[in-house]
């Protein structure tokens, strides 16, 4: 890969959230705390589910996969940011940047797909309760997760291959705390029209498509819940969806917030700050949402620590 002046690109510069030296210890401590909470919180969810036979069901199988993805998602961006602050360096190698783009896109799309699969799982559980275990068998659950991984990996690989064909100019400063795809494309000297078209098309297909699936699942769920005669039955049916609805709302609202902040403001700093919400804050809050709103997880954690 070559720059406009013909020299080889060896590294980019990540400018981070702030260049003020006095704020670096605060940013380091804050992000380190959030990262540790994210890793240990999601790890506890995985351990609780794997250690409790009562939770070996499709819903918790998907939840454990979501927790694993959230750990990987945060690990893609935060450790490099902490390392750069600690070493007072802004550099990231060209290879490291391309790798970060790949895994960042992979786990973002995978998060989206798994939330959609979880919505389908709740739809089957509430709308077809008598056939739930037959429909959501182990083979189907494993196949759904496998398809999610394959589609996410191919989607991410396609973006990476499109980036690899670009030439970059002498300005290699990325106004972000990680190699976000759009920020990297802005540094390219060569034409990025195809890259931008591909981003719009794939975002429409792999972003709006799963969201439409979630809306459809919950429209059917609401119809089924309204048909239940007893108030207790309605509450029990809705309570099984409460945690998932909270996580879906948090994920899509933060993503929408980042998009709107980027569209309404020309400030790269504002966009980078907004990105913290869905790259760091959302994976951190997911374990709390499921542990606080789900009695099965609470009991599993109690039994796990009771050992």
Report yes or no on 5 lying in a domain: no
pLDDT tens digit sequence for 56-113? 999 999 999 999 999 999 999 999 999 999 998 899 999 999 999 999 999 999 999 9
Closest by Cα among 148, 165, 162, 252 to 198? 162
Q: How far is CA 56 from CA 42, 61, 296, 297, in A?
A: 17, 7, 11, 12
Round to whole Å and give the CA distance between 265 and 203: 21
Cα–Cα distance between 67 and 133 in angstroms, integer? 23
Say if 169 falls within a structural domain: yes
Do the domain assignments include residue 105?
yes
Per the structure, the complete domain to which residue 107 belongs is given by: 11-306
Q: What is the pLDDT of residues 258-283, one digit of tens each?
A: 666 655 555 566 677 778 887 898 89
Q: Assess if residue 4 is contained within a domain.
A: no
6 in any annotated domain: no
Q: How far apart are CA 209 and CA 12, in angstroms?
A: 34
What CATH number corresponds to the domain at position 66?
Answer: 1.20.1070.10
Measured distance CA(171)–CA(188) in Å, rounded: 9
Q: Each residue of 33-68: pLDDT tens digit?
A: 999 999 999 999 999 999 888 889 999 999 999 999
Task: Indicate the number of domains in the chain.
Answer: 1
Helix axes 282-293, 58-87, angle to 10 degrees: 140
Tell me if 3 is assigned to some domain.
no
- For the entire predicted model, the pTM comes to 0.91
Q: Looking at the domain assignment, is residue 2 inside a domain?
A: no
pLDDT at 260: 63
Question: Is residue 237 within 8 Å of residue 128, measured between CB atoms?
Answer: no
């Amino acid at each position: 890969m070559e720059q406009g002046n013909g020299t080889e690109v060896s590294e980019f510069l990540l400018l981070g959230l702030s260049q003020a030296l006095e704020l670096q210890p605060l940013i380091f401590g804050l992000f380190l705390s959030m990262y540790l909470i994210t890793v240990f919180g999601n790890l506890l969810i995985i351990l609780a589910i794997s250690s409790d036979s009562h939770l070996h069901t499709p819903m918790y199988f998907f939840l454990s996969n979501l927790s694993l993805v959230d750990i990987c998602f945060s690990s893609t961006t935060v450790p490099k940011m902490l390392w750069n602050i600690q070493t007072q360096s802004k550099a990231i190698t060209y290879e490291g940047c391309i790798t970060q783009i790949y895994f960042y896109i992979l786990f973002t799309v995978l998060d989206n797909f798994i939330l959609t699969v979880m919505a389908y799982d709740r739809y089957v559980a509430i709308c077809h309760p008598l056939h739930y275990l037959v429909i959501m068998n182990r083979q189907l659950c494993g196949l759904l997760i496998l398809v999610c991984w394959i589609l996410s990996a191919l989607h991410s690989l396609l973006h990476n291959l499109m980036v690899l064909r670009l030439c970059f100019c002498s300005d290699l400063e990325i106004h972000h705390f990680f190699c976000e795809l759009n920020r990297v494309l802005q540094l390219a000297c060569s034409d990025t029209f195809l890259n931008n078209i591909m981003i719009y098309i794939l975002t429409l297909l792999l972003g709006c498509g799963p969201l439409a699936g979630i809306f459809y699942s919950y429209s059917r769920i609401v119809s089924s819940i309204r048909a239940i005669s007893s108030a207790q039955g309605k509450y029990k049916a809705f309570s099984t969806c409460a945690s998932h609805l909270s996580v879906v709302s948090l994920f899509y609202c933060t993503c929408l917030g980042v998009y709107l902040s980027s569209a309404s403001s020309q400030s790269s700093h504002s966009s980078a700050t907004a990105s913290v919400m869905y790259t760091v804050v959302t994976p951190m809050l997911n374990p709390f949402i499921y542990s606080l709103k789900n009695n099965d997880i609470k009991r599993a954690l109690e039994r796990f620590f009771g050992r």
